[in-house]
Amino acid sequence: MVTGGTGLVGTSINCISKNYKYKFIYLSSKDGDLTNYEETKNIFEKHKPDYVIHLAAYVGGLFRNMNNMTDMIEKNLLINLNVLKCCHEFNVKKVINCLSTCIFPDKTTYPINENMLHDGAPHNSNYGYAYAKRMLEIQSRAYNESFGDNFVCVIPTNIYGKNDNFSLDDGHVIPALIHKCYLAKKNNERFVIKGTGKPLRQFVYSEDLAKLIMWTLEKYERKDSIILSVSEKDEVSIEKVGRLIAKNFDYESNVVFDSNFSDGQYKKTADNSKLMKSIKNFNFTSIENGLEETIKWFKNNFDKCRK
């Protein structure tokens, strides 16, 4: 059972599901409110899952995080509390919980690894979401130690791909910029990117992440958290991403950066060495190819995609 099954990562798992032996159940908000324990329990009673991939979260981009701190912490705490409690009560064999590198300490050394998650305060732009997600790791650890459950947390870096939320206001950086560039060209306007473009990020294509999540479910035998990410050498600036997006729209000469807006955290480089030691020769999709595929999908599905 995949919570958040109609979101970016859930639909990517769906795309590769034919390669696996399971019967997949993809939950959406229409199936019930995961912030409500009774509704969550009813879902588990109905489906009685053997395995759970827990992706559901109350999420948004930088500015949604900054403007909705209370909702970010309360809704995510409730979702995670209810889902893990039901996973334990219904004897789920293994649970994969999805965290994020944006929840790591702001003031730290780089690259960050799995053991540094609680070493300091997160960046103040997203502390509500970050602390809620950190508690998911602590809750998982508590169930493992107290009851012998098998709850594993994966920590992906910035995810992008087909079926993303391309909202200009609530979307993450890549889908929001894709939509913004599309409209800028359509209206013959400048393609304005908020901030200086200097921050660095590791972007992972959603179908790559889906494969890594399934590998974690089937092959990863430890219970400690694991970072699922491209390597440090594949880190790129927001400026490069913006210009690649513009190039795909043949609109490169109209890119402008507005430094009046916050950049957020400058970098949060993640160490993927634990993953690379465990899974040999995994070929990540390049940012160039991933953006090309995502933008092609966005153009073909503009009328019906989330935006």
Instruction: Cite the active site residues.
Output: 129
Report the amino acid identity of residue 127: Y
Is 82 in contact with 97 (CB distance < 8 Å)? no
**Closest by CA position to 179, among listed 63, 97, 297, 89:** 297
- Token pair of 112, please? 């960050």
Q: At what angle do helices 206-218 and 8-16 cross, to 10 degrees?
A: 70
Report the amino acid identity of residue 219: K
Q: Give the C-alpha separation, 282 to 276, whole Å.
A: 8
CA atoms within 13 A on the CB side of 286: 4
Q: At what angle do helices 69-89 and 127-147 cross, to 10 degrees?
A: 20
Q: Classify 160 as helix, strand or coil.
A: strand
